[in-house]
Structure 1
């Protein structure tokens, strides 16, 4: 489904939610209390600013007695097999975020991946899948990165652990191209990337990847991910803790200039490996 079509359906979701809620004589605050979110969140759903998670859509159906319409709409919009179920909503939020801050401890974040790197990561995690499956995953990942090319692109701040640079994904040529791509985005001032070196020690320790997203008219959210699952967090106190963790990681990172130099020198190391094979 094209991005414009998806947004149109989310807008229909919001319009229909408002109509059904008003027909039932229930305020946003009252509906929010009954489905365990704030009234402000209901308002954001109705304006298509924020997309409800599936369990919230199911509870809305129960309260408004709408015979599953909101669950069906929600499933239609998040049922994209190119993304893990737990990640589909994150992709939607990336498209409307004004700022994205990301920490990557082991692999290049999806928004920065080249097609060749994305292919190597996909095959490494799924060695028995078909070429068609790999192509779909890679295409989806490359399409996600289009938000960095839009005129209204979000600020994108990335902290990479040095592991990301040193652990080969694909052959040396693929790694050289991937790191060169990141360096080029830095030169174009499209992204802001820093690196936490091995020497930072315990300052760099985290259990998994972390993404923070800010929005123009909605509260911030955090997303944490491990190898097999991810969790979207929107409780203000939890998000605040995640933001503090990111601040500590930022302090442990090299300066932007030193980070770019390390990325470029590591890319050159991979190129030398290519020339000697």
Structure 2
């Protein structure tokens, strides 16, 4: 068992969080069980977080801030903590994604991470057989908070139709994931298009890619292989990616027709609309 007294708060965001939680708790004269009672959890959970054996959540952090009067300290720390739980090779991209003002992505295999429902994300991430699945799921949900900002990035998403037909997590999970996608119909900041199967050959048969633009930094293109990710700001690569993405957008259905196709696939493959919490389509 880890000993909180030996934690080096500079070792990682998670170590600092655990060290600071213990420091603040003791400064308020509270035992672990007493703090647990105040924020409606067990003293064992407090212990696990203080010893870095458990990764905290945003809800936990907000409750600790309210209980200890720490002026949002733990709510600010949690973003760093959860980002540190992402795979090391993915963290640089996540940092760039969080700063982007414009995101355009083509996804050939799965729903784009920022638009995944929690249970769909869990099913996707489980395929990699990670040691701590729940931490990865929580980190992915944290990434999505950039879409909830007062001034979020403009996100333009092109999904291959195959994504809609691939039953990741089973029919119920897929039905709810497609329902979740429909919530973005008419959204000012998120634009979803589907590239239909009938298009056949297209400009990105080689696979998925993301294009990030920034106010002050150079644009970057991001791709992934089997075990890692790659970012580049090479001007020739950027031009090629921009051209290919423009062709994908031109070949894809409009946002309105894409929503209708999503509804059709949902009804035909995963259940009737009467079973769903329907969302209006603009």
1:112 to 112, 115, 119: 115
1:56-103 C-alpha deviation (Å, 9 max, x unpaired): xxxxxxxxxxxxxxxxxxxxx899653223221110011111100000
CA RMSD of the aligned region, Å?
Answer: 2.5
Partner of 2:149: 150
Alignment partners' CA distance in 1, 2:223 and 2:105:
10
Deviation for aligned residue 1:224: 1.1
Deviation for aligned residue 1:167: 0.6
Mapped pair 1:213 → 2:212: yes
Deviation for aligned residue 1:139: 0.3
C-alpha distance 204-162 of structure 1, shift in aligned 2 (>3 A): farther
8 Å Cα contact 1:194/1:255 also seen in 2:
yes
Q: Is the partner of 1:238 in helix, strand or coil?
A: helix
1:91 to 71, 88, 94: 94
C-alpha distance 136-178 of structure 1, shift in aligned 2 (>3 A): same
Deviation for aligned residue 1:187: 3.5
> Which has a greater percent of helix?
1
Alignment of 1:161-200 (within 5 A): 161-200=160-199
Deviation for aligned residue 1:274: 11
Alignment partners' CA distance in 2, 1:265 and 1:222:
32
8 Å Cα contact 1:97/1:213 also seen in 2:
yes
Partner of 2:202: 203
Which of 92-101 and 233-242 deviates more? 233-242
Q: Is the partner of 2:223 in helix, strand or coil?
A: strand
Mapped pair 1:122 → 2:125: yes
TM-score w.r.t. the length of structure 1 is: 0.66
Partner of 1:82: 85
C-alpha distance 189-181 of structure 1, shift in aligned 2 (>3 A): farther
Alignment of 1:191-270 (within 5 A): 191-203=190-202, 205-269=204-268, 270=270
C-alpha distance 158-192 of structure 1, shift in aligned 2 (>3 A): same
8 Å Cα contact 2:203/2:244 also seen in 1:
no
Gaps of 5+ in 1: 6-76
Gaps of 5+ in 2: 1-12, 18-79, 276-282
C-alpha distance 198-204 of structure 1, shift in aligned 2 (>3 A): farther
Q: Is the partner of 1:261 in helix, strand or coil?
A: helix
Alignment partners' CA distance in 2, 1:174 and 1:98:
30
8 Å Cα contact 2:185/2:256 also seen in 1:
no
1:167-224 C-alpha deviation (Å, 9 max, x unpaired): 1001211101111111102243341010111111111542221100110111111101
TM-score w.r.t. the length of structure 2 is: 0.65
